[in-house]
């Protein structure tokens, strides 16, 4: 019937339009990253999650000064980073990746290194009170460097293993920083650089079953930044340059699906509320991450609208001759034909006598 054909064509057009819209949405979601918020890059496109991400960046803004935040899900690859290109002095955050380099290089961790008077005079640290000439294993120096963030122990490791191998190791991770020099065992970095170094620490510990370094990072003597803001177990390395030179923390957060989080700032660590931004942002990111992994409830089917009440249709019985006369009239639709007697209904208001 004519009307039936029109309805079918209209329905097909609607389906095509719906599929076209869906293809546009999918195309948008497959982009690798987008600047959906000021100073922020992400590959997360869920609208509800972007609203929460906006709250995180607004919180960082409220603390003023330079703050950079980098989040990366170790399982899915989801990430976001806020102020990603801001560079900072690495301070002691670089120690974790340097110790990871030593471990991955296959160095003998039981090798003994002598604590010389020259090193004692060159920097401060826990070993300052020990007598020059005493020897420490590489393993012990790594432990003191990570647990207590000791500069003296790190300097001994740096003097022994140098910078060239470490710089090549960093490049092998696809990173341009940190890059050390013969004269300086620290570097300029971004929060993203250090977070990616920690992601390698996590990968190595999981794939190789070697948890020596992450176990140390879970038991440091300084736990008032990211660790204090989360409910989950954390392996981290903080850094402090002094004054507004740099105050940072970078961590592996062991939720059910672990993630890495770096927060770098120029906050003065001696200020009264120095740790508050770390704790606040870390807590918000943890909640964000858990919601990101929470299975989404299927949408409830929308209630079908009540059928519209059509105007009453008047059905007329006509003769076959009348039927032939009316076949060309588009305002009628024939609904039955039986042995010369036809029934029709009026498509527009019209009566036939």
Three state DSSP letters for the chain: CHHHHHHHHHHHHHHHHHHHHHHHHHHHHCCCCEEEECCEEECCCCHHHHHHHHHHHHHHHHCCCCEEEEEEECCCCCEEEECCCCCEECHHHHHHHHHHHHHHCCCCCCCEEECCHHHHHHCCCHHHHCCCCCEEEHHHHHHHHHHCCCHHHHHHHHHHHCCHHHHHHHHHCCCCCCCCECCECCCEECHHHHHHHHHHHHHHHHHHCCCHHHHHHCCCCCCCCHHHHCCCEEEEEEEECCCCCCEEEEEEEECCCCEEEEEEECCCCCCCCCCHHHHHHHHHHHHHHHHHHCCCCCCCCCCCCCCCCCCCCCEEEECHHHHHHHCCCCCEEEEEEECCEEEEEECCCCCCC
pLDDT score at 34: 55
Provide the pLDDT confidence category of residue 15 given band limits of 50, 70 and 90: very low
Rounded mean pLDDT, 59-82:
92
Contacts 24+ apart (CB under 8 A), 47-54: 49/288, 49/291, 49/292, 52/284, 52/287, 52/288, 52/291, 53/80, 53/288
pLDDT score at 297: 64
The number of domains in the chain is 2
Rounded mean pLDDT, 260-278:
95
C-alpha–C-alpha distance, residues 274 and 95, integer Å: 22
pLDDT at 223 over 60: yes
Provide the pLDDT confidence category of residue 133 given band limits of 50, 70 and 90: confident
pLDDT score at 308: 57
Quick: pLDDT tens for 199-221: 999 999 999 999 999 999 999 99
In this structure, the answer to whether residues 226 and 321 fall within a common structural domain is no
Q: pLDDT: is 274 or 64 the higher one?
A: 274
Q: Please tell me the least confidently modeled range out of 100-114, 182-196, 298-312.
A: 298-312
pLDDT at 73 over 60: yes
pLDDT at 253 over 60: yes
Provide the pLDDT confidence category of residue 21 given band limits of 50, 70 and 90: very low
Contacts 24+ apart (CB under 8 A), 235-238: 235/201, 237/92, 237/93, 237/95, 237/96, 237/146, 237/149, 237/198, 238/92, 238/93, 238/149
pLDDT score at 127: 79
pLDDT score at 117: 79
pLDDT at 70 over 50: yes
In a domain, 246, yes or no: yes
Pairing state between β 188-189 and 259-265:
unpaired
In a domain, 32, yes or no: no
In this structure, the answer to whether residues 223 and 353 fall within a common structural domain is no
In a domain, 18, yes or no: no
In this structure, the answer to whether residues 201 and 322 fall within a common structural domain is no
Task: Give the whole-number percent of the chain exceeding pLDDT 90.
Answer: 62
pLDDT at 307 over 90: no
C-alpha–C-alpha distance, residues 210 and 214, integer Å: 9
pLDDT at 13 over 80: no
In this structure, the answer to whether residues 234 and 151 fall within a common structural domain is yes
Q: pLDDT: is 144 or 11 the higher one?
A: 144
In a domain, 24, yes or no: no
C-alpha–C-alpha distance, residues 170 and 23, integer Å: 40
In this structure, the answer to whether residues 192 and 340 fall within a common structural domain is no
In this structure, the answer to whether residues 173 and 316 fall within a common structural domain is no
CATH number at residue 287: 3.40.710.10
Quick: pLDDT tens for 136-152: 999 999 999 999 999 99
pLDDT score at 84: 84
In a domain, 260, yes or no: yes
In a domain, 299, yes or no: no
Q: Please tell me the least confidently modeled range out of 45-49, 290-294, 313-317, 343-347.
A: 343-347
pLDDT score at 231: 96
Rg (C-alpha) for the chain, rounded Å, is 34
pLDDT at 8 over 70: no
Give Cβ neighbours of residue 50 (< 8 Å, ≥ 6 apart).
36, 37, 42, 44
pLDDT score at 255: 97
In this structure, the answer to whether residues 239 and 165 fall within a common structural domain is yes
In this structure, the answer to whether residues 178 and 317 fall within a common structural domain is no
pLDDT score at 305: 65
In this structure, the answer to whether residues 175 and 319 fall within a common structural domain is no
CA atoms within 13 A on the CB side of 205: 23
Q: Please, which residues bridge with residue 315 across strands? A: 345
**Average pLDDT of every residue of the chain:** 82
Rounded mean pLDDT, 167-187:
96
Rounded mean pLDDT, 279-291:
97
Q: Is 326 exposed, middle or buried (0-12, 13-18, 19+ CB in 10 A)?
A: middle
Residues 67, 263: contact at Cβ < 8 Å? yes
C-alpha–C-alpha distance, residues 137 and 129, integer Å: 18
Residue 288, domain extent: 45-293
Q: pLDDT: is 285 or 301 the higher one?
A: 285
In a domain, 332, yes or no: yes
pTM, to two decimals: 0.75
Quick: pLDDT tens for 314-351: 555 666 566 566 666 655 555 554 444 454 545 443 33
pLDDT at 189 over 70: yes
pLDDT score at 262: 98
């Amino acid at each position: 019937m004519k009307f039936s054909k029109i309805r079918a064509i209209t329905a097909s057009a609607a389906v095509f339009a719906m599929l076209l819209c869906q293809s546009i949405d999918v195309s948008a979601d497959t982009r690798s990253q987008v600047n959906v918020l000021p100073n922020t890059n992400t590959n997360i496109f869920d609208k509800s999650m972007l609203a929460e991400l906006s709250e995180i960046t607004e919180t960082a803004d409220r603390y003023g000064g330079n703050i950079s935040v980098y989040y990366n899900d170790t399982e899915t690859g989801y990430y976001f980073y806020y102020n990603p290109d801001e560079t900072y002095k690495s301070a002691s955050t670089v120690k974790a990746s340097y110790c990871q380099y030593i471990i991955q290089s296959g160095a003998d961790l039981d090798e003994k290194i002598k604590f010389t008077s020259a090193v004692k005079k060159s920097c401060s640290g826990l070993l300052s009170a020990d007598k020059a000439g005493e020897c420490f294993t590489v393993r012990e120096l790594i432990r003191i460097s990570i647990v207590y963030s000791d500069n003296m122990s790190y300097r001994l490791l740096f003097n022994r293993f140098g910078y060239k191998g470490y710089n090549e190791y960093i490049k092998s991770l696809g990173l341009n920083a940190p890059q050390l020099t013969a004269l300086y065992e620290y570097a300029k970095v971004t929060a993203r650089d250090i977070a990616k170094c920690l992601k390698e620490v996590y990968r190595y510990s999981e794939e190789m079953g070697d948890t020596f370094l992450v176990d140390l990072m879970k038991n440091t003597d300084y736990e008032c930044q990211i660790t204090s803001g989360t409910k989950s177990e954390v392996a981290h390395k903080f850094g402090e340059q002094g004054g507004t030179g740099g105050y940072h923390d970078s961590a592996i957060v062991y939720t059910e699906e672990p993630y890495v989080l770096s927060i770098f700032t120029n906050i003065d660590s001696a200020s009264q509320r120095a740790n508050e931004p770390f704790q606040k942002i870390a807590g918000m990111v943890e909640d964000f991450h858990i919601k990101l992994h929470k299975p989404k409830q299927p949408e409830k089917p929308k209630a079908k609208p009540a059928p519209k009440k059509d105007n009453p249709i008047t059905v007329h019985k006509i003769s076959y001759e009348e039927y032939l006369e009316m076949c060309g009239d588009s305002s009628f639709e024939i609904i039955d034909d039986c042995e010369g007697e036809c029934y029709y209904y009026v498509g527009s208001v019209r009566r036939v006598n």
